[in-house]
Amino acid sequence: MHIDILTLFPEYFNGPFSESIVRRALQKQLVQINLHNIRNYATNKHKTVDDYPFGGGAGMVMQIEPIDQCMDELKKQRTYDEIIYLSPDGDLFDQPMANLLSTKKNLLFLCGHYKGVDERVREHLITREISIGNYVLTGGETAATVVVDAIIRLIPGVLSDETSALSDSFQDNLISPPVYTRPANYKGWEVPEILMSGHQMKIDEWRHEQSLLRTRERRPDLLKDE
């Protein structure tokens, strides 16, 4: 998979993409992430990328021209399956959307700032808008990190045990069962005996029951279609 991220703050991503599973996926070249500083595509001599909103009002608006120029360059090199704008008024990101995006070849993410981007970017240059939740972040970078992380771990070969992404919470609309490791008894807090019984079928049954119980208790909304 190839991912391009258009941002005013490329260095923001240094931390999240240089650790753990994402770092390994990059090293193994299962995914390639290129960061592009929108400011490098500013056409005026002050290299500004934002301006006052027509009609007045607070906040600055990201201009269309540098974004369009940057995308034009990139579109010469590859065809994008999706051009995604991170925005609090986009479609709410969830596991099915992550699953779908993880099957794509070329993705482009545009991170907004200030009051947002000129509406014409959204009308003409974007194929999909994604929100990671009903709250407003300072910019799209945090949201892009979340979405890219959720996608990358689904790419075959990224997780060492390929089945583990399939047994995640939400993959079957159920929350994962509880997990335990040694010691079996810590300060008198004991691990459920069934897990140490060695009876795999019973353990699987117990885990499934726990998933159902937890989902009913914590996220009944996930069961409402059943």
Residue 132 contacts ligand ADE per CB under 6 A: yes
Residue 131 contacts ligand ADE per CB under 6 A: yes
Amino acid (one-letter) located at 148:
V
Distance CA 175, CA 225 (A): 15
Residue 137 contacts ligand ADE per CB under 6 A: yes
Residue 192 contacts ligand ADE per CB under 6 A: no
Q: Could you say which DSSP state residue 91 is in?
A: E
Number of residues that bind ligand ADE (CB under 6 A): 11
**Could you tell me which stretch among 65-73, 74-82, 86-94, 201-209 binds ligand ADE (CB under 6 A)?**
86-94
Minimum CB separation from ligand ADE for residue 80, in Å?
Answer: 19
Minimum CB separation from ligand ADE for residue 119, in Å?
Answer: 16
User: Can you say whether the dihedral through the CA atoms of 145, 148, 151, 152 is positive or negative?
Assistant: negative
Q: Residue 38 or residue 158: which is nearer to ligand ADE going by CB?
A: 38
Distance CA 62, CA 114 (A): 7
Kindly report whether the peptide bond that precedes residue 183 is cis, defined as omega within 30 degrees of 0.
Answer: yes
Q: Could you say which DSSP state residue 161 is in?
A: S
Q: Residue 33 or residue 174: which is nearer to ligand ADE going by CB?
A: 33
**Could you tell me which stretch among 2-10, 68-76, 129-137, 200-208 binds ligand ADE (CB under 6 A)?**
129-137
Minimum CB separation from ligand ADE for residue 18, in Å?
Answer: 22
Please name every residue paired with 33 in a beta bridge, in sequence order, or none if there are none: 3
Residue 143 contacts ligand ADE per CB under 6 A: yes
Residue 136 contacts ligand ADE per CB under 6 A: yes
Can you list the positions of beta strands (E) in the chain? 2-7, 32-37, 50-51, 61-62, 82-92, 106-111, 128-131, 185-186, 189-190
Residues lying near ligand ADE in the complex (CB under 6 A): 86-88, 131-133, 135-137, 140, 143
